[in-house]
Structure 1
Amino acid sequence: MSTKEKVRERVRTQETTPANNEIVVYNDDVNTFDHVIETLVRVCDHTPEQAEQCSLIIHYNGKCTVKTDIYDKLKPQCIQLLAAGLSAEII
């Protein structure tokens, strides 16, 4: 004979506010790849590889989401991107 044990677990789920805002950077004919990469590294804390990939996506697709977080954290970063001459917005 085997012994069967029933286990019941109560799982608490806590709703968290999703980080549903994102900074999108758009392609333009003004900024160089180097400038975009350096700006993403400085402002968004990207690694150089990450920033390079984003710059290529921006170039070929016309836009790229570079950061996702809550609005209050994204706003100063977006302002810095705009001050650096990039075309960006929070959506």
Structure 2
Amino acid sequence: MDLGHKEEELIDVLEDVADVKDLMVFNDDVNTFDHVIDTLIRVCKHSAEQAEQCAYIIHYKGKCSVKKGLLKILKPMKEAICDAGIDARVM
């Protein structure tokens, strides 16, 4: 059994887990609920219900984590959301 190889795989997994980030979307006075919902469905592949729930949280709480994942996956999503005129950041 190659313990060195198993150890390398475990390190890779641990690094991935430690690198999990949140894609946060922030409230504004410009975008409509429908625009935010449509954008979350298109960009994050949310269901209509999930996108609507996130939109309400964004509206009432000021922000919402709409997706968790690795930076390399979330960064293009953040850019697409920002391109739609919605304030988003990976944190």
TM-score normalized with structure 1 length: 0.82
The match for 2:40 is: 40
Q: Supply the RMSD in Å over aligned alpha carbons.
A: 1.5
Partner AA of 2:68 in structure 1 = T
Partner AA of 1:81 in structure 2 = I
Gaps of 5+ in 1: 1-11
SS in 2 for 1:28: coil
Q: Which has the higher helix share?
A: 2
Gaps of 5+ in 2: 1-5
Q: Which has the larger radius of gyration?
A: 1
Identity %: 49
Output the CA distance in 1 between the equivalents of 2:33 and 2:49.
12
The match for 1:68 is: 68
1:29-78 Cα shifts (integer Å, max 9, x gaps): 00000000000000000000000000000000000000111000111110
Output the CA distance in 2 between the equivalents of 1:26 and 1:58.
6
TM-score normalized with structure 2 length: 0.82
